[in-house]
Amino acid sequence: MELSKPRFGVGLFDRSLSTPEAIVNFALTAEKFGFDSVWMPDHAFFPFEALTTLTAVAVKTRNVKVGTCVIDLNRRHPATLAQSTSTIDIISGGRFILGVGKGVKNEPTYGVRVHEQVSRMLEILKITKMFWTDPVVNYRGSFYTFENASIGTRPLQKPHPPVWVAAFGPRMIKIAAEIGDGFITQNMSPEMYQEKLNQLRETAKKAGRDRKEITAVFSAPMSISLEREAALMQIEPWARDFLSRYAKPPWSFAEKLGYRTQWTKPEEVPIEAIDRCYIFGTPDECVSKVDKYLKAGVEYFICLPLLPATTDSLKLFSKKVIEYFKEYR
């Protein structure tokens, strides 16, 4: 089977990227070294807001795509979101990708609990697309009602920027399969990813969609160094935190990785589990791990973030990993 040539993106957040200038310079360096895209997550407790940061990056860069991985739709009004993202798409010259999710960490910001997160998210996404494409929006739903509503901005990309949907569970996978231009999932082994991707593609087929319409994306922290132990030291806290939180049902990462014990603390996560679920190590080890995910169906890799977040890491990853896969077959 001939595999597609992978594309690579990198996140624009880390403790070392503590100023807007540092973030813009990091994005410019990523562009220089051949990364295809740069990405911002969206949490209220982060130092910088995603869309305004990406706007600054879009002004300075020329070729690299700019995207959210992922934006919390449940804390965004659809008309405001549509206008903001249309503006970024215009400023970037049509380089914007909207990665979306239902949000799980921002509820204290609202002051009230958000009920029916997935249903509300889906409605916001549908309305946003209407504002992107329709001169006037008339809509009556479960959460929003609009009558003769409009915005003064339209995205440059037609019919609209790509929408990539972050998904773990069956319902979000169904949404990604039916209306997403991309499918994002994260922090899992190639075998687990392939299982999720197969679910997505089967659902997309039932919905009458071609699997080629949906980009298969793997997003996770990644770490590269000339020494394996140095790379492991960088990624270990991120990996232990995530895998311990997702060890139990409904995600059941521990069981799916073949462990009988469900980890309850980060220090209980075995190194072997980290090794199976994350791309890290020497350049040769990173190439080998990327190859395993490619064979599982991944088409697009997002280093969220690349560790350590330095120019040297960008250069090493570019020269040893991105360059290797440029001729990939």
| pLDDT in the model for residue 2 | 54
* Contact by Cβ (8 Å): 69, 301: no
Peptide bond into 47 cis (omega under 30): no
User: Domains of the chain: which residue ranges?
Assistant: 7-226+281-325
Q: Over 70: is that where the pLDDT of 88 sits? A: yes
pTM over 0.85: yes
* pLDDT at residue 115, as a whole number: 83
> Is the pLDDT score of 327 beyond 80?
no
Alpha helices per DSSP H over the chain: 20-32, 50-60, 78-91, 107-110, 117-133, 170-179, 190-206, 228-245, 253-256, 271-277, 283-295, 311-317, 323-325
Tokens matching residue 289? 């791990």
Strand 163-166 relative to strand 96-101: parallel, antiparallel, unpaired?
A: parallel
Q: Determine the CATH number of domain 7-226+281-325.
A: 3.20.20.30
What's the confidence (pLDDT) of residue 1?
Answer: 47
At residue 3, does pLDDT exceed 70?
Answer: no
295-325, pLDDT tens digit by residue?
Answer: 999 999 999 999 999 999 999 999 999 999 9
Overall average pLDDT of the 155-170 stretch: 96
Average pLDDT over residues 103-125: 82
What is the DSSP annotation of 171-214? HHHHHHHHH-SEEEEES--HHHHHHHHHHHHHHHHHTT--GGGS
Q: Are 176 and 207 in contact (CB under 8 A)?
A: no
Q: What is the distance, to the nearest Å, from the Cα of residue 48 to the centroid of all Cα atoms in its chain? A: 17
Rounded mean pLDDT of 78-84?
A: 97
User: What is the number of residues in the chain?
Assistant: 329
Burial class, 207, CB count within 10 angstroms (exposed 0-12 / middle 13-18 / buried 19+): exposed
Residue type, 169: G
Question: Cα–Cα distance between 61 and 305 in angstroms, integer?
Answer: 19
Digit-coded pLDDT (tens) for 13-70: 988 899 999 999 999 999 999 999 999 999 888 889 999 999 999 999 999 999 999 9
Residue 264 to residue 286: CA distance in whole angstroms? 28
- At 96 the pLDDT is 98
Distance CA(329)–CA(317), nearest Å, equals: 19
**Residue 128 pLDDT:** 98
